[in-house]
Amino acid sequence: MFLILQFVLILAFIFKEPIAIAQYVPSWSNRVAPVNKHTDAAKPLYSVQFMTSYVDDHFLNEKFVIDIEAPFPWRDCVVDWNYYEGDCPTCRYPVSCKEYQCTDLQTTYFYRSHSCHSVNSGSKSPGSQHCNCPVNVVSPVDGTCSQALLNYDLFSLNASDGRNPYPSTYNSGPNAGCVPSSVFDSFPENVRGVMAFSRSPYAKPTGVMVVGHNPYDVRVWKDILAICLPSTLSSPGVMFFGDSPYYFIPNSNVDIRGLLSYTPLLKHPDSFGYFIDVKAIVIKGRSINVSYAGNSTTKLSTTEPYTTFRSDIYSSIVRIFLKVTKRIPAAKPVAPFGLCYNISKNRTKPGLKVPDIHLLLQGGSKWTISTANSVKQVTTHVACLAFIDGGLTSEPPIVLGTFQFEDNFLVFDEGDSTLGFSSSLINKGTSCANFNFTTPSNMYP
């Protein structure tokens, strides 16, 4: 049965037409996955957990680095033209070099990096008449380029009503790249792939098929991605796919959407990522005009750990912070940061309290960066302003990084082309680690 469902799903993806299996409409409205923080690589990264191979009547769980700029996902696997004839959990059915997906991913929706060389249009497997589809992939850890073979993959997630996961499982069959295991030597432990969530049509696994309690159910999802990155290693954050109310404990009756502000999402001709327009930065009544140089475009990144500012903007922020925190003794800067504080005498308070930073956005909304997202404690006695000088020619002038996203709820709505953001959930009595991943007994639609 599983292989039949998978085959139907692949056909649906190939022809890009919805397959109506049943008229039943489930009561849940999204899918959900846990998000983990990792600090055992060259830089902090965040992974999302998907169910992948179906072995011995159950799914295997695997973790993938979250990348909201990557054009397509890729992972540790092997392409196999005889996929249905053997038992190989890491094997995937290849995409032929003659199929349109191959052309798309080699010429339009490819990784744009100077570290990559051009790929051949196709190559035959040893001892086979079949033609594989080679594509380039770029590591979010160190920026190195590797060659992958394109395949038809399978990723699965639990359904959710916004409060808990359901036992039902949604499958999606996107195209993905297969790379050798050695490519992941620099990745965080137990992370074996990259999941793409960009604007590319080959990103965001958006499957429509469900197995589980209602095995022939079809669901059309809104193109909405919600991310909540955790600030700790011990408890997961959460990612949602599709429109829904979102509820976190302890305020289980408060929809997180009621806490959100919104700003338009912008497109950039040289990126599949997400951009917003920051008009100004305000710190304790002092304003920095970001757009005076004619470019206030700001990129959001889930692979850059700290927000980067063009030098003129960074210098203005540091200059204001030196004035408004002059009572806090300075410390020798700790790379990659340029402004640090000595907190050894701050024994009465945990950490350090500094003024909020307000990003004034297009449409009049305001994203507030509080102390938890602006100051990083790097040693027992030193805390630093968690921003980086990107240089005089940094383009775009601002890149918002993951430290500033932690415990902030972000909703990327492709349909409305808007970004919803909560600012710090900590200041609202909850956190990204407060979604209840427990599945209540007898919880069925």
CATH 2.40.70.10 fits 21-241, yes or no: yes
How far apart CA 445 and CA 59 sit, in angstroms, is 21
- The CATH-assigned architecture of domain 256-434 is Beta Barrel (2.40)
Q: In the chain, which segments carry CATH 2.40.70.10?
A: 21-241, 256-434
Distance of CA 181 to the CA centre of its chain: 22
How far apart CA 429 and CA 412 sit, in angstroms, is 23
Model pTM score: 0.88
Structure tokens at 405: 């996203």
Model pLDDT, residue 251: 83
How far apart CA 221 and CA 244 sit, in angstroms, is 10
Structure tokens at 384: 């630093």
Which ranges of 302-434 would DSSP assign to H, the alpha helix? Answer: 311-324, 371-374
Per DSSP, what are the bridge partners of residue 116?
none
Please provide the DSSP assignment of 45-86 as one string: EEEEEEEEEEETTEEEEEEEEEESS-SS-EEE-EE-TTGGGS
How far apart CA 115 and CA 162 sit, in angstroms, is 41
Per DSSP, what are the bridge partners of residue 237?
35
Let me know if 321 is exposed, middle or buried by CB neighbors in 10 A (0-12, 13-18, 19+). buried
Q: Per-block average pLDDT, block size 10, for the chain (445 residues)?
A: 43 40 55 96 96 77 96 93 74 91 94 87 65 95 95 89 84 89 96 96 66 48 89 96 89 90 94 95 94 78 97 96 93 96 67 88 96 94 95 92 98 95 95 91 55
Contact by Cβ (8 Å): 193, 76: yes
Model pLDDT, residue 336: 96
How far apart CA 97 and CA 83 sit, in angstroms, is 17
How far apart CA 172 and CA 206 sit, in angstroms, is 6
Model pLDDT, residue 123: 64
How far apart CA 289 and CA 316 sit, in angstroms, is 10
Structure tokens at 81: 């033209």
Model pLDDT, residue 295: 73
Structure tokens at 86: 């053997």
